[in-house]
Structure 1
């Protein structure tokens, strides 16, 4: 990742490309078969990359920009952590490293030996754990490399000095250690705006890196080297430029890398993209068809060096659980189809560095299962039953993905087919009699979880929820602290719209009325409130704004706020 501490932004270029996709829906314009290039014979370096699957990022640690690897909140790396990651089934580890604070002054730019020793120690632990290992120059990309246009000679000299020392230190290590030239290279932070100039500077860095490493002795003459596109973006023009660089090097041990955080509106939950729908799916297809045709089909292996969802930087719940799982299930499947190795970005939000437990074991299990087979799901993992209303048979659409439903259980007891449920193709019907039993307590919220098992893949959890109409209450506050008291009555919030009563969309990203979940608003079910966050009010003009809160059961609640300076008053409808 390239942002300070956490990745909460995409480049303007990439956002623009995604928004064009959003409005034009070009992703589905051509069929897969029409786009596929004829694959090249499998090479030794492709086999190397295949053996790396799956991969994991040791994020926000040695890449931290402070004086110490703990400066961004994660504990010091231990050998036990590395062993635990290997035990989880991972075959490779990317160790992002920021060198900036540990590089001396010109002209030698000497890297602090104690820091090199520490990096070597962690790399050694990973190699001892039989992992493939990738190290790089990480946040240096925006800290100082981004200023290359205005400080060309100084930047290149510093970069070259860093790689000269890194290459020398690690030249005798196993070839399971690979070098990545630079993470998400971009030059806009330094003021560069000309795309062609930026591509030229990246090519210069990549070529210089290649020359330094190949001439540094030891095993570096054949060590696998990983080269990124500009911003490590999978957009076609930038991949084309990387392809030209790689072809010109004429080196059989080069690997291309891109990063992927999904279709941007879905990835951050904005513009009404709350579900894993066709635009989000097509973005995966189009992106990796292009990556495949540009590199893999021509004999250049690809590592997706980071993947995830951008909303995770706010909270892993920004994208609803079932929709999140469907996204990762399809992404894992498609990357497997396209013969690409992927490395999960984890800045500490996935695998707890102290307890060695996954924050979302469902996600971990699904990713691991996806290495060999597809998993099944339902159209939604939420079934809402209104409190006190007559319960009827409920139909649930299955996404079998070629599998067969084998059993359904609740609280350890198996449901009986024909009596408790029926199955007609991909249509599952939950019988009213069984639903009455499961919701007998009539308490608000989750009353039961049905576990659907299939002949292949992981189980799917279907939540049975009792709910009633949610209620919003009047409130007063400021632009820095405003919360709407909310009686959720078993409901969950999907998204929020904001428009001025005088017309026009309110708040940031005013090209859409639907605001970004976790950035402009956030529900708190424990404290029974919906918070409107300072980032929302920063771009709200004084006056009346109508808010519409969309709930997962389909209800829409309307609320009016009036902003006057820093004061905010809210009225329920």
Structure 2
């Protein structure tokens, strides 16, 4: 994972917002008979809503794909209860994770919005898993081909040693931005050389597995032979990790975008080089213990392909070649766990189905599926108003993990979440608000456990110090560790604001007990008194006015007191009592490369910023939303008292156009400010 992933996820989010889904390479078992009801309950100029129901008139269907041809060139723009895509005149709808099964004589329904031009003629024919829906029962199951039987047999392997070994890998940690650097040395991306002491300390934190990302391309000669010194260094680090008792995963990492991505135009060259790497690695590690795991390629991607079908085929070819090379090399490689990724390590259903099809075909009990998860993108980078880990962000996580579980784990294929985190939270303190960040990690750890998914934290040096062996955010580390075994209570906020310009009053927040029981409120080691200092009614925790007055002291701007809510399990929830007033912004001049707004924050904290032109349209980058990306377009500096607008922001602001900025603060306050760019000059005023 590098900064490149931010752009990739941004593109993916915009793509999903603009389209209904992605195609699946192969359907599940076909249905002998089916009936489709297609209706258009509403239609408007160039747009319409369609409602579709599919009745299964044959045997049980586990995983479905409905296909049809548009007679009038319609296109799907948005869908629900299914993943729907159009390619030319061809359209495909595939099941969501929760409605994959259609029992005999049962019905499944979905809907979508579409666009049309000229006429909006209904489709004339539908096919369910390749069988045309005639409204009549199909032939008896005894007349179906052996293809269905074979797919059922190989698609549901019985859980065995692979599942147990992957479970034993929980929890895992990534040695990021080190051996995967694209420079000449493992220190090229500012991390120190790996030491045995580092691995010992990672082990002491409770991690049971370690993923060692490795980039090979810059360490290969013209004949694709890996430099002996580099391979020996990798073997040394792997050896240390194995000696520490870790389960260890190694891979081909940033080569994925450096040269493997060129496979559509250079299939032979890429495959030859890829095979050369795995042939050498299979030989070098053939006799290593089974606790060493191979991952075929990190975040596979292809540039200039013809689309989903070619992407799926190319990735299948890489995974197949990888598996064949390793298995043929003998030794412990004959049964070593091999980890196979989805395209982009995505958890979209179409990508999962593509990998599931490959794994079924390999019929190998020692294969593992992998994906990555960096959260709901607007929340992960704080753009488009995604300031909170709200219901939308939570649903993105649960939907992703449900899809992975239903596609793989429930069918006996173990899964490793090879990387997880948030994309923006280590860029700038405040990009992702601390409490919202903690809620994300608490929920992720819990939900991964319920879905039997092994997790591997992405750490490029931003978490555990490589020489200090200290966590940069101990509160986060405690939350992550707790999530491995239990839930923790949280709350609607970790900040309680009181305006200094007004009288002190009682404050109420909502407790999220997450299955625990609230047990008390403390300031340090002092227990606050229930009834006089606070009250609890259902999930509402209220701090009384006398307690707020006492705890706020002289009411200096900023945090006046820190409380902790305690629960029957997990880690306590910190609550900051903050005194504030509405921030004050002053006039400023500068340039597009250097512009800062003098800001007296008065105890408040910046949550996000909107940017609009006078006509109400969105200004600046990501112009599909008025809310700009924290730290990429703007950033507060509480020490110097300034709010910076970045060159990246002004690069996409119209010349001589007045932009109205609305700054949103965590207290709920908003402040309006105006900036005008004239060439490279910028002026601003409240």
Cα deviation code 1:409-446 (max 9, x no counterpart): 11331101111111112111111111111111211000
Where do residues 410-425 of structure 1 align in structure 2 (5 Å cutoff)? Answer: 410-425=523-538
Deviation for aligned residue 1:407: 2.1
Q: Which residue of 2 aligns with 1:508?
A: 621
Deviation for aligned residue 1:36: 9.0
Secondary structure of 1:172's partner?
A: coil
| The 10-residue stretch of structure 1 (388-397 or 444-453) with the greater mean CA deviation from structure 2 | 388-397
Unmatched runs of 5 consecutive residues or more in structure 2: 22-76, 84-94, 103-154
Pairing partner for 1:225 from 329, 338, 349: 338
Measure the CA separation in 1 of the matches of 2:415 and 2:171. Answer: 13
Secondary structure of 2:424's partner?
A: helix
Deviation for aligned residue 1:402: 1.4
Q: Which residue of 2 aligns with 1:62?
A: 179
Q: Which residue of 1 aligns with 2:87?
A: none
Confirm or deny that 1:272 pairs with 2:272.
Answer: no
Pairing partner for 1:99 from 208, 216, 229: 216
Which structure has the larger Rg? Answer: 2
Cα deviation code 1:320-368 (max 9, x no counterpart): 0011111111111111111000111111111111211111111111111
**Contact 1:3/1:9 (CA < 8 Å) preserved in 2?**
no
- Tell me: CA distance 1:497–1:285, structure 2 relative to 1, closer, same or farther (3 Å): same
Deviation for aligned residue 1:13: 3.9
Where do residues 372-521 of structure 1 align in structure 2 (5 Å cutoff)? Answer: 372-521=485-634
Where do residues 84-123 of structure 1 align in structure 2 (5 Å cutoff)? Answer: 84-106=201-223, 109-123=224-238
Measure the CA separation in 1 of the matches of 2:79 and 2:386. Answer: 14
Secondary structure of 1:311's partner?
A: coil
Deviation for aligned residue 1:34: 5.6
Q: Which residue of 2 aligns with 1:545?
A: 659
TM-score by length of 2: 0.80
Q: Which residue of 1 aligns with 2:250?
A: 135
Q: Which residue of 1 aligns with 2:148?
A: none
Q: Which residue of 2 aligns with 1:560?
A: 674
Q: Which residue of 1 aligns with 2:195?
A: 78
Measure the CA separation in 2 of the matches of 1:31 and 1:427. Answer: 36
Confirm or deny that 1:330 pairs with 2:330.
Answer: no
**Contact 2:492/2:509 (CA < 8 Å) preserved in 1?**
yes
Q: Which residue of 2 aligns with 1:167?
A: 282
- Tell me: CA distance 1:546–1:418, structure 2 relative to 1, closer, same or farther (3 Å): same
| The 10-residue stretch of structure 1 (111-120 or 36-45) with the greater mean CA deviation from structure 2 | 36-45
Confirm or deny that 1:214 pairs with 2:331.
Answer: no
Secondary structure of 1:310's partner?
A: coil
**Contact 1:547/1:561 (CA < 8 Å) preserved in 2?**
yes
Deviation for aligned residue 1:372: 1.3
Unmatched runs of 5 consecutive residues or more in structure 1: none
Q: Which residue of 1 aligns with 2:472?
A: 359
Pairing partner for 2:296 from 175, 181, 186: 181
Deviation for aligned residue 1:503: 3.3
Confirm or deny that 1:290 pairs with 2:403.
Answer: yes
**Contact 1:27/1:279 (CA < 8 Å) preserved in 2?**
no
User: How many equivalent pairs are there?
Assistant: 567
| The 10-residue stretch of structure 1 (26-35 or 13-22) with the greater mean CA deviation from structure 2 | 26-35
- Tell me: CA distance 1:529–1:161, structure 2 relative to 1, closer, same or farther (3 Å): same
Measure the CA separation in 1 of the matches of 2:20 and 2:585. Answer: 36
Q: Structure 1 or 2: larger strand share?
A: 2
- Tell me: CA distance 1:225–1:563, structure 2 relative to 1, closer, same or farther (3 Å): same
- Tell me: CA distance 1:31–1:218, structure 2 relative to 1, closer, same or farther (3 Å): closer
- Tell me: CA distance 1:19–1:457, structure 2 relative to 1, closer, same or farther (3 Å): farther
- Tell me: CA distance 1:18–1:83, structure 2 relative to 1, closer, same or farther (3 Å): farther
Deviation for aligned residue 1:300: 0.5
Measure the CA separation in 2 of the matches of 1:147 and 1:39. Answer: 34
- Which of 1 and 2 has higher RCO (CA within 8 Å, sep 6+)? 1
- Tell me: CA distance 1:192–1:35, structure 2 relative to 1, closer, same or farther (3 Å): closer
Q: Which residue of 1 aligns with 2:422?
A: 309
Secondary structure of 2:9's partner?
A: coil
Measure the CA separation in 1 of the matches of 2:229 and 2:363. Answer: 36
Deviation for aligned residue 1:496: 0.2
Q: Which residue of 1 aligns with 2:115?
A: none
Measure the CA separation in 1 of the matches of 2:404 and 2:336. Answer: 23
- Tell me: CA distance 1:295–1:163, structure 2 relative to 1, closer, same or farther (3 Å): same
Deviation for aligned residue 1:12: 3.1
- Tell me: CA distance 1:499–1:307, structure 2 relative to 1, closer, same or farther (3 Å): same
Deviation for aligned residue 1:110: 0.7
RMSD: 2.2
Pairing partner for 1:349 from 440, 462, 466: 462
Deviation for aligned residue 1:502: 3.4
- Tell me: CA distance 1:40–1:180, structure 2 relative to 1, closer, same or farther (3 Å): closer
- Tell me: CA distance 1:497–1:461, structure 2 relative to 1, closer, same or farther (3 Å): same
Q: Which residue of 1 aligns with 2:132?
A: none
Secondary structure of 2:392's partner?
A: helix
